[in-house]
């Protein structure tokens, strides 16, 4: 077993026995990568914000704790989250809250607007590379914030109201775009974000902000223009569904030769993924309520794919898709262009029987920031290879999900440790898989 790091990680595990085809229907949860940002957006107003269709997962719990620490009143009932922050009563996020994921970095704008200062821990998050926050810091500085790093914390202050500016992102970063959307909504004057990310979760955040009174325009060529307003008000919003959960469950269906209907799967958010399925001659049927995925067991052709920012093939789909490629016939190639170090999980797939080689060369055409650097950011998969159950230790959310998918199509039983990563990012993934017939148990050791 690789890196079974701590005793805590060993307390719970999933036991997965492969080989059972998935059948049935499940309803997707709301998007993880929207709910946390919208929860923080509620800090921009002293009025009540209501979020519906929120996914119940660890990252939301953590974000709620961050808001409560800052003074928010929070009620979570079923899948509806009500938040009101009449006053921000504290301007420091302790490291035991904010150091665990990266969400604290987008609390800076709301805190600066309402209190003139913000202290956040140097962020943590998944083990998928260095993940700096220099884009955030440079942009906030341009808007008038002063920043000092000391003792593991960033201290932000502003003597005057933050002001609009033109921020050119070196890369279309998701959270940096979100950070500037929140901050610019209440800034003095106009902010232009150039080379902005335009992921569906960002558009959904813009929809919430517009309901709160923000003025945000999407222009051509990845430009977003925000006219700052004096204040924002309460709003209610229903979240889009989670396209990462959709992809994971769709791939689980194909890997097990099953037949599953995903209620709430949205074609417009999955276009690139669905195109790749068509290239692999995989069957799906789209209707107004969702998408049916049908795995008939026919031989799959190998493909070449490259991750990219939206509307490209999402980096978070890369890991589950690579598991599918282990079952394709021939040589498939994957070029990861968003993160420099997101293939660590393949060594575990190799232990399960996959043939995967990593390369520092760009094996693709997307202009990539990692060209001629020594990052193993391309991989070649030779399939099909039967996979064997084993003991697995999860390093991050999406890698963890790919281990579960591999275990579902493997021969024998796998013990999957480190499941807190999965539970941070997916609402009851094990329960949903079980409802489709998967043999997956959640075992708690005492």
CA 166/CA 164 separation, integer angstroms: 7
| Nearer of residues 138 and 413 to ligand EPU, judged by Cβ | 138
The first and second tokens of residue 248, run together, are: 């994971």
Q: Which of 305, 401, 389 is nearest to 351 (CA)?
A: 389
The first and second tokens of residue 45, run together, are: 């107003």
Give the binding site for ligand EPU (CB under 6 A). 33, 102, 126, 129, 131-136, 171, 173-176, 197, 315-316, 338-339, 397-398, 425
Q: Is 126 a catalytic residue?
A: yes
Alpha helices of 341-396 — where are they, by DSSP H?
346-351
The first and second tokens of residue 213, run together, are: 């009174």
The first and second tokens of residue 111, run together, are: 């805190």
The answer to whether 338 touches 121, Cβ cutoff 8 Å, is no
Cis peptide before 317, with omega less than 30 degrees from 0?
no
Distances (CA, A) of 395 to 49, 132, 398: 34, 19, 9
Local structure of 425: helix, strand or coil: helix
Options 126, 242, 259, 415, the catalytic residue: 126
The sign of the dihedral angle between the CA atoms of 176, 178, 182, 188 is positive
Q: Which of 1, 4, 59 is nearest to 418 (CA)?
A: 4
Alpha helices of 19-70 — where are they, by DSSP H?
32-41, 58-70
Beta carbons within 8 Å of 110's beta carbon, 6+ residues apart: 40, 41, 43, 44, 88, 182
Q: Which of 307, 334, 330 is nearest to 322 (CA)?
A: 334
CA 17/CA 13 separation, integer angstroms: 13
Other C-beta atoms within 10 Å of 403: how many? 31
The answer to whether 211 touches 24, Cβ cutoff 8 Å, is no
Q: How far is the CB of 413 from ligand EPU (least distance, A)?
A: 26
The answer to whether 30 touches 425, Cβ cutoff 8 Å, is no
Cis peptide before 384, with omega less than 30 degrees from 0?
yes
| Nearer of residues 108 and 176 to ligand EPU, judged by Cβ | 176
Beta carbons within 8 Å of 436's beta carbon, 6+ residues apart: 22, 23, 24, 26, 249, 252, 253, 258, 260
Q: How far is the CB of 39 from ligand EPU (least distance, A)?
A: 12
The first and second tokens of residue 240, run together, are: 């889009």
Q: Please identify which residue in the block is written with the tokens 């060209």.
A: 371
- What are the catalytic residues? 126
């Amino acid at each position: 077993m690789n890196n079974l790091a701590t005793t805590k990680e060993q307390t719970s595990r999933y036991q997965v026995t492969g080989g059972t085809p998935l059948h049935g229907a499940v309803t997707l949860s709301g998007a993880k990568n929207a709910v946390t940002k919208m929860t923080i957006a509620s800090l921009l107003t002293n009025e009540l914000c209501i979020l519906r269709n929120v996914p119940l997962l660890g990252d939301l719990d953590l974000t709620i704790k961050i808001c409560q620490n800052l003074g928010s009143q929070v009620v979570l009932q079923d899948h509806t989250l009500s938040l009101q922050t009449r006053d921000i009563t504290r301007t420091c996020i302790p490291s035991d809250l904010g150091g665990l994921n990266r969400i604290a970095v987008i609390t800076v704008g709301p805190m600066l607007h309402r209190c003139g200062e913000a202290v956040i821990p140097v962020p943590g998050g998944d083990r998928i590379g260095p993940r700096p926050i220099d884009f955030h810091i440079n942009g906030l500085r341009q808007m008038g914030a002063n920043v000092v790093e000391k003792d593991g914390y960033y201290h932000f202050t502003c003597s005057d109201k933050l002001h609009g500016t033109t921020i050119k992102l070196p890369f279309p970063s998701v959270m940096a775009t979100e950070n500037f959307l929140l901050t610019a909504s209440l800034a003095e004057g106009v902010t232009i974000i150039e080379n902005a990310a335009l992921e569906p979760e960002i558009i959904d955040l813009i929809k919430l902000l517009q309901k709160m009174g923000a003025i945000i325009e999407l222009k051509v060529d990845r430009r977003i223009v925000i006219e700052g307003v004096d204040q924002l008000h309460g709003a209610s919003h229903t979240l889009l569904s989670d396209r990462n959960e959709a992809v994971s469950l769709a791939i689980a269906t194909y890997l097990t030769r099953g037949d599953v209907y995903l209620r709430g799967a949205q074609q417009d958010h999955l276009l690139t993924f669905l195109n790749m399925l068509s290239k692999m001659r995989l069957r799906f049927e789209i209707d107004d309520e969702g998408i049916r995925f049908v795995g008939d067991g026919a031989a799959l052709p190998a493909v070449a794919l490259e991750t990219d920012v939206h509307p490209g093939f999402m980096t978070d789909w890369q890991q589950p898709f690579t598991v599918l490629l282990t079952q394709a016939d021939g040589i498939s190639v994957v070029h990861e262009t968003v993160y420099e170090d997101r293939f660590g999980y393949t060594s575990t797939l190799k232990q399960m029987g996959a043939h995967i080689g990593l390369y520092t060369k760009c094996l693709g055409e997307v202009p990539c920031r990692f060209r001629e650097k020594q990052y193993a950011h391309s991989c070649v998969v030779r399939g099909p290879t039967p996979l064997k159950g084993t003991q697995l230790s999860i390093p991050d959310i999406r890698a963890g999900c790919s281990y579960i998918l591999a275990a579902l199509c493997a021969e024998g039983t796998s013990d999957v440790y480190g499941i807190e990563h999965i539970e941070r990012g997916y609402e009851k993934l094990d329960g949903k898989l079980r409802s489709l017939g998967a043999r997956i148990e959640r075992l708690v050791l005492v």
